Amino acid sequence: QVQLVESGGGLVQAGGSLRLSCAASGRASSAYVLGWFRQAPGKERMFVSLITRSDGTTYYADNVKGRFTISRDNAKNTVYLQMSSLKPEDTAVYYCASTYGIGLITAPNDYAYWGQGTQVTVSS
């Protein structure tokens, strides 16, 4: 049963923008916290951003703060990640995830539901 499906990745030049979408279904759609993570080749999966389902509280990793914006449309069960001023170091597979945990949860192991990932490549 598919729970989270990402879309919107692609190839973009440095300084450009992309918007990722994550459509949620099933139990994943009613989770308290929805997050974005990314994993570059040979590196660990890292936290990018999260948003709470109840009041829309957002939180960002320091290296994307001011460039990325997370938002959600609860009616559509969709979370978005608007990425601007992209840098080559933003190149990674981006994953959407959700958890019934409460609070600013940034550890991947604390998320129960994961999408399949979408590739973002930023060329210099």
The reported pLDDT for the residue numbered 30 is: 80
pLDDT of residue 118: 98
pLDDT along the chain (124 residues), means of 10: 90 98 87 94 97 93 98 93 98 96 93 96 97
Q: Give the ranges where 11-116 is alpha helix by DSSP (H).
A: none
- E strand or H helix that includes residue 108: none
Contact 63, 85 (CB under 8 A): no
